[in-house]
Structure 1
């Protein structure tokens, strides 16, 4: 699937949402996970070498979109997801702190949900860490509702129908 949507950026420059390209994106995506996502997780430590080593394999098993200034520039935001039967499983999403509050999460979620619909997914599913209130609020605004809390993981499970009920 070819994807490269050019979008205006606040400073007038164009930004694009494109498919993840490991040779250009892997180092920055791993850094974003390590510095922005893992610190929010109860079950993973920032220095967990095994988790970091497994990330390239994890990215090969699904689809990843990145927001970047060009085809070869480092990502400023990304989302990773997989289709499992009729479920779009949203795995990870991070935006660089310098680029937050610019709708990148919303745009990446919309692209992911469109992909899920094109694959006949009926529902989108994700987990959000208990302490990540901003993400939880974003997902609620985008139509996701909380179905369960997992105390052992300190995270919530959220769902959103992708087809009319």
Structure 2
């Protein structure tokens, strides 16, 4: 399967992205259950901050994965990432993360920060393969803090790390 990554179109993508959040993110969360999770309107407002990119099926342009990140000074906060289970292990998650990191580097960020829910070992291993390291544990939200410096890239991603569109 070729991977196509593009910026989020709220009109076209939000239904699928909100479903991914409901199915693939909230069940891992210590903070929320499906009953008290943020509303669709709250999530839409959250996605409007920073940048959101979608991995889409080439034939339909329907999202099967997405990443949301916010650049704040020298720090890129990777807020949300999800890929449908049937589409995992095909490179979409890696390409989505590379797109988010490129956005952060272009905005002047020197480091990326994200949190992985306790018990989501597959996600923690995925981020470790991308160069993120556990730097702490947030007990209140039961999440591992993970960081990745961009300093080795001289302000840019190297050729081997540049986002590819296929």
Whose RCO is larger (CA < 8 A, sep 6+)? 2
Say if 2:3 and 2:92, in contact at 8 Å, map to a contact too. Answer: no
Scaled by the length of structure 2, the TM-score of the pair is 0.86
Separation of aligned partners in 1, 2:19 and 2:115: 21
* Partner in structure 2 of residue 122 of structure 1: 110
CA separation of 1:84 and 1:15: change in aligned 2, threshold 3 A: same
Change in Cα spacing, 1:135 to 1:50, as seen in structure 2 (3 Å) is closer
Q: Distance in 2 between matches of 1:112 and 1:125?
A: 11
Query: RMSD between aligned alpha carbons?
Result: 1.6
| Secondary structure at the counterpart of residue 151 of structure 2 | coil
Most deviating of 42-51 and 27-36: 42-51
Could you tell me which residue of structure 2 aligns to residue 47 of structure 1? 35
Unpaired runs of 5+ residues, structure 1, are: 1-8
Is the 2:3–2:91 Cα contact (8 Å) retained in structure 1?
no
The aligned counterpart of 2:44 is 56
Q: TM-score, normalised by structure 1?
A: 0.87
CA distance in 1, matches of 2:36, 2:23: 12
